[in-house]
Structure 1
């Protein structure tokens, strides 16, 4: 209350006494120019590095896509060659074994084993069950648009597994999912957002085809737990679910695999 002089005045007077002065306009401009040049160099270097990284990423992505397409082409070529060789082997086997009674019996046993292993294509009437992922919502980040089914991404692998098992239990003689035959050792599972049937990606809608008596299959399927499960999923989450009979289904053969470890069980 007694000293009304601001301390800044005393500091300014002391500075003048020591012959300190304000920096000149030319000096301030020089420092400003030097700072601008430094900032420009830093920004230019960062931009050059970002551009180089982006070009490297694009080049790497292009190379990976090229390798993936080349691998897919090679896979399709090998699969086509395998199918052609299988047809030739079948024809040669039939020509060699069908000449006598013992050979005919061997052929009958082979056909029975191949049918059980889904190793040969089949045709006939049956039932088709179609499962479809629900449509995407317009904006899931808006909490006002979230419903009770937004936490569910769509059809799950266990949904397809339950449908396939129910069709087997209903008397199906052969089953395929998305054109991939279900045989021994074939799995249905999810990997990220992809549905894999026998390690082959299958997109939505998922078409489950079963060969057998359409009436018997439908009668057994509509009373199964899988039907009740999918009907509830359809009502709660908007998943597409349909069942229809078919007069002529054509299912391919399953991919054959060599058995490495096996042992006989039961009596001989």
Structure 2
């Protein structure tokens, strides 16, 4: 059989070789097209990308390990430094606590001496003035002014209001009872201010908060996590005493916005609120400060 082009596939073959099956050679390009489905260029690019990913992954691990080592070193240094400075900090804290206690004791001693001298001055003044009618009138005016300035102690019936922050024991001597976990201070300075103003409006003649007499120039303000009354810290439970007609005071205070707010705090946050009349309340004298007046002479 002769194919087109004049080429005979049996040419040059013996009789035995002519009967054998003929294997036609397949060019390499055709073989690569049939067997290799991915172009060599694409395969090389894929291998390069895979190698790059492995390299970048290894570099990322190395950076992470290096960062962890640096962080661990910093923490170890900080812990070592804290342990090294801890004895000095404790000694400084003890020294500061000792200084504060010394100052408090000195202030208490000075206040006691002041009260003693004030009592002596008052006794001598009364002895000199009560001998005649004019002196008695002057003493009456001084007593009235001293009462208005909260400079004299007061004893009488009235109203006792006790407000307790949630989680605080009513007995502060029991140190085993701490604040509830996660609890925060609920009673703020404005709450006590509202109570005091409502008691004045209800007819109170004298008021004290936390054992501190409320008078002219006395403030109730917040200081961090505590409350200061006349710059003296007070703590829960907060006791407010008001001298005046007890039943009239209670009726008027029950209808006040201050008690409504306290009841709202009681139902919402668990604040303790107690209001009761008392027949014999004693309020201390307040601190007396020198008041300077400015006079306008015109211009």
Q: Say whether residues 1:245 and 2:277 are aligned partners.
A: yes
2:227 to 192, 195, 200: 195
Q: In the alignment, which residue of structure 2 is the partner of 1:179?
A: 211
1:110 to 142, 145, 148: 142
Q: 3-state SS of the aligned residue for 2:186?
A: coil
Q: 3-state SS of the aligned residue for 2:156?
A: strand
5 Å-filtered alignment, 1:26-105, equals: 50-105=82-137
Query: What 5-or-longer segments of structure 1 have no aligned partner?
Result: 2-43, 141-149
Q: 3-state SS of the aligned residue for 1:164?
A: helix
Residue 78 of structure 1 deviates from its aligned partner by 0.4
Distance in 1 between residues matched to 2:242 and 2:204, nearest whole Å: 6
Distance in 1 between residues matched to 2:212 and 2:290, nearest whole Å: 19
Q: 3-state SS of the aligned residue for 1:221?
A: helix
C-alpha distance 217-50 of structure 1, shift in aligned 2 (>3 A): closer
1:75-108 deviation per Cα after TM superposition (whole angstroms, max 9, x unaligned): 1100110110111011000011111121111111
C-alpha distance 154-125 of structure 1, shift in aligned 2 (>3 A): same
Q: Say whether residues 1:231 and 2:266 are aligned partners.
A: no
1:85-143 deviation per Cα after TM superposition (whole angstroms, max 9, x unaligned): 111011000011111121111111101100100000010000011111011443x4xxx
1:193-225 deviation per Cα after TM superposition (whole angstroms, max 9, x unaligned): 111111101110000000011011001100111
Could you tell which deviates more after superposition, 161-170 or 128-137?
128-137
Q: In the alignment, which residue of structure 2 is the partner of 1:169?
A: 201
Q: State TM-score, norm by structure 2.
A: 0.67
C-alpha distance 51-168 of structure 1, shift in aligned 2 (>3 A): same
Distance in 2 between residues matched to 1:112 and 1:62, nearest whole Å: 47
Could you tell which deviates more after superposition, 125-134 or 226-235?
226-235
Q: Paired residues, what number?
A: 215
Q: Calculate the aligned-residue CA RMSD, in Å.
A: 2.4
Residue 49 of structure 1 deviates from its aligned partner by 5.3
Q: In the alignment, which residue of structure 1 is the partner of 2:188?
A: 156
Distance in 2 between residues matched to 1:89 and 1:127, nearest whole Å: 32
Residue 236 of structure 1 deviates from its aligned partner by 1.0
Residue 260 of structure 1 deviates from its aligned partner by 2.0
Q: State TM-score, norm by structure 1.
A: 0.74
Residue 153 of structure 1 deviates from its aligned partner by 2.4
Q: 3-state SS of the aligned residue for 1:171?
A: coil
2:159 to 113, 127, 150: 127
